[in-house]
Amino acid sequence: MIPRVADDTLRRLAKGFPIVVLTGPRQSGKTTLARAVFSDKAYVSLENPEEREFAERDPHRFLQRFNDGAILDEVQRCPALLSWLQGLVDERGRMGDFILTGSAQFDLISGMTQSLAGRVGRIELLPLSASELARAGKLPHTLDEMLFSGGYPALFDRALTAADWFPNYVATYLERDVRQLIAIRDLTQFQRFVKMCAARSGQMLNLAALGADCGISAVTAREWLSVLEASYLVMRLPPYHRNFGKRLVKTPKLYFLDVGLMAWLLGIRDTATIETHASRGALFETFVLSEMLKQRFNAGCPADLYFWRDNVGHEIDILYETPSGLQAVEIKSGSTFASDWPAAVRKWQGFAADEALRPIIVYGGEGDYERETCRVLGWREL
């Protein structure tokens, strides 16, 4: 197992909450992490038909088996258990009693909100980050290799290639989970929709145009996109709300959460193709956003990432608040610093004035240095 940064956060939350929930996409390492950290606890997968039937038929007796708590895997398969867990953990009063994992956040979050408010510590576990791969000595040698492979653990701890992994992942997990969440009559049409989403990663979200390109209505496109979000495959990056005297766009941006899966859905089948691909910039932007999101989720923090764009096209790729002020991040896929890169953040500094911190430029080269009042970070240093 490749050590996960979220290990410390998981242990910390287990000291203060009776239930800890690990959510995230299929095959992101939730079960592996939970079993490694809580190796003394019983493990039950609710994907097992016998266990799921027992839990649905008699949840009280199902839970009474676990005097020392347990890891309940894919708990969204039996949401009725959450109500019974409330009474049990209240009666016991033990911290870190039950560890739950789930890969579909709609049902799970709804159940936690209704039944387990105040009793749950939650971590969202995405695939491996570049820092986790670097610590394990498994970080790809080049940026193009990183963009092609993404971060799913199976690609780094098994004898698998991307050509083996991604088509099977799409077929067995993406499509199966979708069918559990929503009735899809035309699977081919949905597959086209997913590929069109990959082609729009890093762009402003236009549901009407997206639906039209796939032959579906904007309402259906919104519904299908919600399913992809629930399965932790995509996210909507919201615009920052303060305008600093400028009229702002109010439409979110769409991003995939794993750059390797995005590359595969774009039809990229080898590393060499990425170097000259028209979507290389979007792939790199997707990679940087997902890395920053992983850093926050691994620490148990909410995303709280935004972009900023006014009505005349001034834009900051990523913006977030800190106690000291607003941090702007500009993303450039080139491997050599260009003198015009700081132009956008200089404009931003003019609007934000004293609230703007020293901007960060993340680029496709290497190093950590200062240039033209900006901090410049290479992809490895991010």
On whether the CB atoms of residues 260 and 151 are closer than 8 A, the answer is: yes
**CATH 1.10.10.10 occupies which residues in the chain?**
130-281
CATH architecture of 130-281: Orthogonal Bundle (1.10)
CA distances from 268 to 23, 155, 201, 274 (A): 29, 16, 15, 7
On whether the CB atoms of residues 243 and 351 are closer than 8 A, the answer is: no
Non-local CB neighbours of 270 within 8 Å, separated by 6+ positions: 148
- Residue 109 pLDDT: 58
Question: What 3-state class would DSSP assign to 121?
Answer: strand
pLDDT in tens, 104-131: 665 555 556 566 777 889 999 999 999 9
- Residue 155 pLDDT: 96
- Residue 153 pLDDT: 97
Instruction: Tell me the C-alpha distance between 310 and 227, whole Å.
Output: 30
What percent of the chain lies above the pLDDT cut of 90? 75
- Residue 275 pLDDT: 92
| Superfamily of segment(s) 6-124 | P-loop containing nucleotide triphosphate hydrolases (3.40.50.300)
The token duo for 60 is: 């009280």
Instruction: Tell me the C-alpha distance between 211 and 132, whole Å.
Output: 37
pTM confidence score = 0.94
259: nearest Cα among 129, 138, 348: 129
- Residue 230 pLDDT: 86
Inter-axis angle of helices 187-199 and 207-214, nearest 10: 130
- Residue 357 pLDDT: 95
Secondary structure element (H or E) that encloses residue 253, with its range:
strand 253-256
**CATH 3.40.50.300 occupies which residues in the chain?**
6-124
Alpha helices by DSSP H, listed for the chain, are 6-14, 30-37, 49-57, 59-64, 81-92, 105-115, 130-135, 143-149, 154-157, 162-169, 175-181, 187-199, 207-214, 218-230, 259-265, 271-276, 280-298, 343-352
329: nearest Cα among 351, 357, 366, 299: 357
pLDDT in tens, 284-319: 999 999 999 999 999 999 999 999 998 888 899 999
Amino acid symbol at 197: C
Average pLDDT, the chain: 92
Look at the alpha carbons of 224, 230, 232, 234 in this order and tell me if their dihedral is positive or negative.
positive
Residues of the chain with pLDDT under 70: 104-115, 179-180, 245-246
What percent of the chain lies above the pLDDT cut of 70? 96
Instruction: Tell me the C-alpha distance between 12 and 34, whole Å.
Output: 13
- Residue 108 pLDDT: 54
- For every residue of 151-194, DSSP letters joined together read S-THHHHSS--HHHHHHHHIIIIIHHHHHHHS--S-HHHHHHHH
- Residue 276 pLDDT: 94
- Residue 314 pLDDT: 85
- Residue 115 pLDDT: 64
215: nearest Cα among 240, 197, 232, 190: 190
